[in-house]
Amino acid sequence: MHVSNALLAHLVLATLVVAACDSDRPVSLCCRGFGPASSFSYVLQDICDTTVPDQSLDVGAGCESGVPCEGSQYEGLYSVCCAETLYCPSASTDGSYGYNCTGTWVEG
């Protein structure tokens, strides 16, 4: 079986990004939005039918997992580490949501 160097490098980089999250927030996501759950309350409650226990905790919105989320390709997105993901039926089109997150703005 032959594995290309580019694929191998991508897998190593994705592993390093996931490893950057700590044990309290092990879920690594790349998100279009980031902020207090209260900022996303309409989508979470009315679209996802999810009740968030603490509206002051940060949420990652419109997220994708398994991507490095760094460099110019991801500029303008948020690299976040979350305690958990929230179930949302619309996630198939809008991306997933992370809950109880910390994050940073991605610069190119």
37 vs 55: CA distance, rounded Å: 5
* Residue 64 in this model has a pLDDT that exceeds 60: yes
**pLDDT score at 10:** 39
Do residues 43 and 93 lie in contact, with contact meaning Cβ atoms separated by under 8 Å?
no
Count the Cβ atoms, other than its own, within 10 Å of residue 93.
7
More confident residue, 26 or 16: 26
Q: How confident is the model over 10-19, as pLDDT tens digits?
A: 333 343 444 4
SS3 103: strand
- What one-letter code names the amino acid at 84? E
Structure-token pair, residue 96? 């997933």
More confident residue, 7 or 103: 103
Banded model confidence at residue 21, pLDDT cuts 50, 70, 90: very high
Mean pLDDT of the region 43-54: 89
Instruction: Quote the mean pLDDT of the chain.
Output: 83
List the chain domain ranges: 5-105
* Residue that is written with structure tokens 């002051």 in the block: 56
Structure-token pair, residue 57? 């905790």
Separation of first and last alpha carbons in the chain: 35
* Residue 94 in this model has a pLDDT that exceeds 80: no
